[in-house]
Amino acid sequence: MTNTTSLPVTRSLSPMALAMRRFRKHRMAMFGIGLLLLLVLYVSVVGWFSSGYCAPISQMVYGEAWANCNDTSLKLQPPSSDHFFGTDVIGRDILARTVYGGQISLLIGISAAFVEVFLGALIGAVAAYYGGWVDNLLMRFTEAMLNIPSLFLLIIGARFFGSGLPDFNFFGRELTGSVVVIILIIGATSWMYIARIVRSNVLSLRELDYVSASRALGASDRRIIFTHLLPNTTAPLVVGATLGVANAILAEAYVSFLGVGVQGSTATWGNMLDGAYQYLETAPWLWFFPGTLILLTVLGINFVGDGLRDALDPRSSRHM
């Protein structure tokens, strides 16, 4: 290491390191990462610096009580130095609700993407690995799901489960069961594209020698699928999961906007907009702030997803 002036040492980079390098050079992806970091900061630490009226805030935003704390004599106040984003129809602080609602929206987005990727990978891998009638049945089911517009599926799913789940405790905070319902429904209505990609990847992978070898060594089907096939199709899963978070946040916003999503007592960016359009003219701050936060989050995630796609599969987008 002392004699650095001699020949440059070229170290061969692993595919992952190469991908990381491409990702870091992707300007838009870096911008997206920055945007997302700011948003995470927003939903986690803004409570420290903003002042509320029911309780002195200056602390981590924990419970619904804080976000729901209201003063009906202060309803529909425009943004002011006391309430930077104004107050809503029953006098709740919009800033507080966007902070707390942001935590819930991000929670829903990330969890739903997990459900989506899990279902998609499982169904795609099982269909491709077993082939035959299993493949046929699963793919017909996938096609059928793709042929029903996803928003309708979401609405019907939300109605189907309704408020069937009880409230539950998550990291010391009470959440309505409708949060879980929405997570499961968004996941259950969006796995189809991932299933198709995974299926086509696994179809070609399972013919490779290393799979035959591990089968000859007596590996079980489950072991082959989970340790040999799925890890080799990570790239589309990572990209799919990233974009899945954005789509899940949008999906939550749409169903909540249509009034069948998360119940109003648990604030989310989506249900803050439910009914807000009736105040289009008189109280634009009701819909402007939560809507803009959704836009920024989805934008950031889409930038990152695009960067990941370019980094993980350089052939996929020569010109994008």
Structure tokens at 245: 């978070």
Site membership for another protein, residue 12 (CB under 8 A): no
Nearest to 296 by CA among 317, 269, 315, 271: 269
* Segment interacting with another protein, rule: CB under 8 A, options 70-78, 195-203, 227-235, 246-254: 246-254
Site membership for another protein, residue 254 (CB under 8 A): yes
Q: Which is nearer to another protein, 182 or 202 (CB)?
A: 182
Residue 268 Cα to chain centre, angstroms: 14
Q: Which is nearer to another protein, 66 or 285 (CB)?
A: 285
Structure tokens at 253: 């916003």
- Is there a contact between 13 and 21 (Cβ–Cβ < 8 Å)? yes
Site membership for another protein, residue 193 (CB under 8 A): no
Over the window 291 to 310, marking each residue x when it contacts another protein by CB under 8 A and - when it does not, the resulting string is: xx-xx--xx--xx--x----
Q: How far is the CB of 247 from another protein (least distance, A)?
A: 11
Q: Which is nearer to another protein, 116 or 274 (CB)?
A: 274
Site membership for another protein, residue 239 (CB under 8 A): no
Residue 14 Cα to chain centre, angstroms: 29
Beta bridge partners of 175: 168
Number of residues that bind another protein (CB under 8 A): 45
Nearest to 104 by CA among 248, 202, 4, 223: 248
Q: Which is nearer to another protein, 70 or 256 (CB)?
A: 256
Site membership for another protein, residue 258 (CB under 8 A): yes
Which of positions 128-187 make contact with another protein (CB under 8 A)?
Answer: 140-141, 143-145, 147-149, 151-152, 155-157, 159-160, 162
Site membership for another protein, residue 263 (CB under 8 A): no
Beta bridge partners of 92: 70
Alpha-carbon distance of 121 to 199, in angstroms, equals 8
Q: How far is the CB of 284 from another protein (least distance, A)?
A: 6
| 168 phi, psi to nearest 5 deg | -145, 170
Alpha-carbon distance of 299 to 293, in angstroms, equals 10
| 198 phi, psi to nearest 5 deg | -60, -40
Helix (H) or strand (E) holding 173: strand 173-175
- Which residue from 25, 131, 277, 313 is in contact with another protein, where contact means CB under 8 A? 277
Site membership for another protein, residue 273 (CB under 8 A): yes
Which stretches of the chain are assigned E, i.e. beta strand? 168-170, 173-175
Q: What residues line the site for another protein (CB under 8 A)?
A: 28, 140-141, 143-145, 147-149, 151-152, 155-157, 159-160, 162, 246, 250, 253-254, 257-258, 260, 273, 276-277, 280-281, 284, 287-288, 291-292, 294-295, 298-299, 302-303, 306, 317-320
